[in-house]
Structure 1
């Protein structure tokens, strides 16, 4: 499928090249345009001709979508070993779609890092190299996922300044009106970035800014009707309130809210953790 990188409307894109309906069919992957048409489109969109040729020759959208969905199901369940082996096997395939190859490379380092197969510095170097392919990785906001992983690794290393730099790199350019429905909404993914930023601020001892970040995450969760991280956000709100010696009732309310969402989403691992660690506030 040919992507309209400059977000030109089909009428403007077609002007002087082909008809507007033809552009629509190309974008939907219903027709394969001639080389001269691709050349003119590449000039207008200011992308290399090879980008379109690679996509048209090697894209298998259904297979890619199914594989990406399965890999992300594995990582969401922390089944890093299974995800890593699947990704390594997929990377052996020749003539892959460029975006899918970048995605698999990111997942290789993400899961490999979780399994301690790669040193943090090695992961950071190679993930930063992936960011240079902006034309490719902007699709399905893979660039944001790579940047978020870099921020997380820096946070794990205790390099909070560097970590926050990468989280802010995402959030400073975030437009809440934009939604990408493919596999995972960009708006919903931003919640994960906000949560990671709040955790990093908490670990760095900046509790006031951490609380403000948590509240932004809660506000955005409500706006997008998404509960996936509300338990974690309320938990860190309680943690910050404890450090800032807030009123006991406010701390208790945060942990009660956290427990409510963990139980509602049947996240029993976190239910047990919060009941054990915050027992005094829940009785």
Structure 2
């Protein structure tokens, strides 16, 4: 018996359906009820193999795509968590050895690219290459056509790393170009729209460093509305926080600045973002619309 990963299968079906501009009604025609498709996409039901085969034919994709993608996704996530831990703990020797082990045990394109990505970043963190050499190596990775074809998420991840390297070395114009190119990509599904929010967060930080305050304010107001429609609070507090920065830089009305920071503070409390909550309490308390109760 094949164990189907409920939520990921449903998300994949929904993503592919939307990419092909199909409604649930069109997908389920002559297959099952629309209610059944809705439950599968929302992770409440598990499709049978027979139903999954019918859905695959309707979407014109091989059924193996669901299982292959899930296995690759799980492996990429496993590698990602381990490598990020090594970076945090600076256990670079162990990290290098594990990357070699992963590389020797797979022939899957996306995984090999992801391993190479981390190997390049490791060389940079160890001081073996400078940031320009690091960027050149990463650019060689994203230049491979198969990345966009097989994993746009991996392409975005590497491009974001390049942009951050440019930003950290104060080459903001180069970062700006990368973010603009990334934002031109289609972000049709909910999953991809949330990724766009992360790109926008970095893009707005970069606009601030470039002192493009008017443009930044326009962009942040637009992305706040987009984030509200997504009903995802993850970045909403950050965007209001950035709005406060742009308003301050433009010497806007004090009430507008205070309102932006206060809304940001409220969202940081709601999402348990203690780090940014503390920043506002310590450094910007005078710009909040209500006093902080320091007795708590």
TM-score, normalised on structure 1?
Answer: 0.70
Tell me what 1:239 maps to: 245
> CA-atom RMSD, angstroms?
3.4
Tell me the distance in 1 between the aligned counterparts of 2:121 and 2:237: 24
- Give deviations 1:4-26, integer Å, cap 9, x for gaps: 9xx99xxxxxxxxxxx97x8598
Which residue, out of 149, 152, 158, partners 2:170? 158
Give the unaligned 5+ runs of structure 1: 9-19, 31-58
Contact 2:86 2:95 in 1 (8 A): no
Structure 2 residue matching 1:205: 3-state secondary structure: coil
Which residue, out of 184, 209, 214, partners 1:172? 184
Tell me the distance in 2 between the aligned counterparts of 1:130 and 1:230: 32
Tell me the distance in 1 between the aligned counterparts of 2:107 and 2:272: 38
Matches within 5 A, 1:52-201: 64-72=72-80, 80-81=88-89, 85-86=94-95, 89-93=98-102, 94=104, 95-110=106-121, 118-138=129-149, 139-173=151-185, 175-176=186-187, 178-179=188-189, 185-201=191-207
Give the unaligned 5+ runs of structure 2: 1-15, 21-52, 292-296
Tell me the distance in 1 between the aligned counterparts of 2:201 and 2:254: 23
Matches within 5 A, 1:3-82: 24=57, 27-29=62-64, 64-72=72-80, 80-81=88-89
Tell me the distance in 2 between the aligned counterparts of 1:230 and 1:71: 29
Shift of 1:243: 0.9
Shift of 1:92: 2.8
Matched, 1:256 2:235: no
Tell me what 1:229 maps to: 235
- Give deviations 1:92-118, integer Å, cap 9, x for gaps: 332331101112322444566567675
Which residue, out of 269, 285, 289, partners 1:279? 285
Contact 2:244 2:257 in 1 (8 A): yes
Shift of 1:217: 2.3
Shift of 1:254: 0.8
> How many residues get paired?
233
